[in-house]
């Protein structure tokens, strides 16, 4: 069986067990409205800049800023979208937003997104990077099936975007995009075709490794990152979003090692901060009751937060320690059963 067939078969098996979409599933990106400079609008634009109604995105191009508070990650995504929309007003040759920029425009998850815009063009652009350091230009004979359009912006297709990110990003960032893309409905056969067409190119070996581990059952970028940390550390592969019974009812675990009864629960602090998630105190009490029920059912639960992801070695050690503890516990249970 070829590498291409292995990847498609593995991902196809995973896709049969995708959970129903949730509120955390990727959604369409925010696209700001654009105002171009013109001499007759000079005073109007200047007033809008002073009031904050407009911000300068590029020379002669202004956009409306996003409203309301947002996380640092959301602000980075908004900045990339703003830069892309502004650049679209200036480009005069055929182009498609690609790589991590296309991932953002497709509404996919990203991890540690760089503050730059990627465009793919059919010919080698004559523009030097130092003249526009935040724009990364790629040139290739982009197949028609790899071209798409979102809200009037030309972008690489969902499948091409997943492969480009898997080839060019660090593997942990590539798996976040790939998980999200599968969850969004990427065509598995097309991913294989794109990957096969790139055979021998830069980053293809890495992309094969990343895509072989991609799993659309992941429900957040944090879960994808933790799963990749475990895989990279050589730990047994966990199962994403496994539903298990307890006396309080069935609960879904973010990552589970069923044979060991070890689970990782990724805690995004947002779910305890109120707003759309309800009263924080009630959420906290409900989470404690859930944790207690899982422990009583024999599960050893490791909790991981966004801050913990800053040190992947520590996360891997904690999971390894939990798996070792679970094995020792199982051995004691077997010994006790034999003694009886």
The residues pairing with 243 across neighbouring beta strands, listed in sequence order, are 252
Closest CA to 227 of 191, 201, 190, 264: 264
Q: Per-residue pLDDT tens for 66-75? A: 776 578 888 8
| C-alpha dihedral sign at 312, 316, 321, 322 | positive
Alpha-carbon gap, residue 247 to 57, rounded angstroms: 55
In this predicted structure, which of 108-112, 149-153, 277-281 has the lowest mean pLDDT?
277-281
Q: SS3 of 1, please? A: coil
Q: What is the DSSP string of 40-54?
A: GGHHHHHHHHHHTS-
Residue 275 has pLDDT above 60, yes or no: no
Domains and CATH numbers, the chain: 3-30+66-219 (no CATH), 225-339 (3.40.960.10)
| Contact status, residue 80 vs residue 57, Cβ threshold 8 Å | no
Distance separating alpha carbons of residues 326 and 259, to the nearest angstrom:
9
pLDDT at 272: 42
Q: Hey, which bits of 203-288 come out as E strands?
A: 239-246, 249-257, 262-267
316, 318, 322, 328: CA torsion to nearest 10: 90
- The residue assigned the tokens 């309080």 is 248
Contact criterion met (CB below 8 Å) for 104 and 112? no
Question: What is the pLDDT at residue 58?
Answer: 81
The whole model's pTM is what?
A: 0.84
Rounded to an integer, what distance in angstroms lies between the CA atom of residue 93 and that of residue 89?
11
Question: Is the separation of the CB atoms in 155 and 167 below 8 Å?
Answer: no
Q: How far apart are CA 100 and CA 84, in angstroms?
A: 11
Distances (CA, A) of 252 to 13, 103, 291: 20, 28, 11
**Are 217 and 240 contacting, i.e. CB atoms less than 8 angstroms apart?**
yes
Would you say residue 187 has pLDDT above 50?
Answer: yes
* Distance (Å, whole) CA 162 – CA 182: 9
Mean pLDDT of the chain: 85
pLDDT tens column, 14-57: 443 444 333 333 444 567 778 888 888 888 888 988 888 888 88
Stated as kind and residue range, the H or E segment containing 293 is: helix 280-296
Which of 115-124, 208-217, 330-339 is least confident?
330-339
Return the residue matching tokens 């942990």. Answer: 172
Report the pLDDT averaged over residues 233-239: 96
């Amino acid at each position: 069986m070829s590498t291409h067939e292995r990847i498609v078969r593995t991902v196809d098996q995973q896709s049969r067990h995708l959970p129903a979409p949730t509120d955390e599933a990727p959604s369409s990106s925010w696209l700001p409205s654009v105002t171009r400079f013109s001499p007759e609008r000079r005073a109007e634009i200047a007033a809008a800049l002073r009031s904050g109604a407009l911000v300068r995105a590029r020379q002669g191009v202004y956009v409306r800023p996003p409203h309301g508070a947002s996380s640092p990650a959301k602000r980075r995504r908004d900045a990339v979208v703003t830069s892309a929309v502004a650049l679209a007003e200036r480009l005069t040759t055929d182009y498609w937003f690609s790589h991590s920029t296309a991932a953002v425009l497709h509404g996919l998850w990203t991890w540690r997104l760089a503050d730059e815009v990627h465009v793919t063009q059919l010919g080698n652009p004559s523009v030097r990077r130092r003249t526009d350091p935040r724009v990364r230009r790629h040139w290739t004979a982009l197949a028609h099936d790899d071209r798409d359009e979102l809200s009037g912006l030309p972008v690489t297709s969902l499948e091409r975007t997943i492969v480009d990110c898997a080839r060019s990003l660090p593997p942990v960032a590539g798996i976040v995009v790939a998980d999200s893309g599968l969850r969004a409905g990427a065509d598995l056969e097309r991913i294989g075709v794109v990957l096969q067409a790139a055979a021998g190119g830069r980053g293809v070996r890495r992309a094969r490794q990343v895509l072989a581990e991609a799993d659309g059952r992941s429900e957040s970028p944090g879960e994808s990152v933790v799963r990749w940390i475990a895989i990279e550390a050589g730990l047994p592969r966990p199962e994403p979003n496994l539903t298990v019974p307890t006396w309080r009812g069935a609960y879904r675990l973010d990552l589970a090692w069923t044979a060991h009864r070890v689970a990782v629960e990724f805690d995004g602090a947002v779910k305890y901060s109120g707003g759309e998630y309800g009263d924080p105190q009630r959420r906290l009490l409900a989470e404690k009751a859930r944790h207690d029920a899982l422990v009583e059912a024999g599960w050893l639960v490791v909790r991981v937060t966004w801050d913990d992801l800053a040190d992947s070695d520590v996360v891997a050690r904690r999971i390894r320690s939990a798996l070792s503890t679970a094995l020792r516990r199982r051995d004691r249970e077997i010994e006790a059963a034999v003694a009886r």
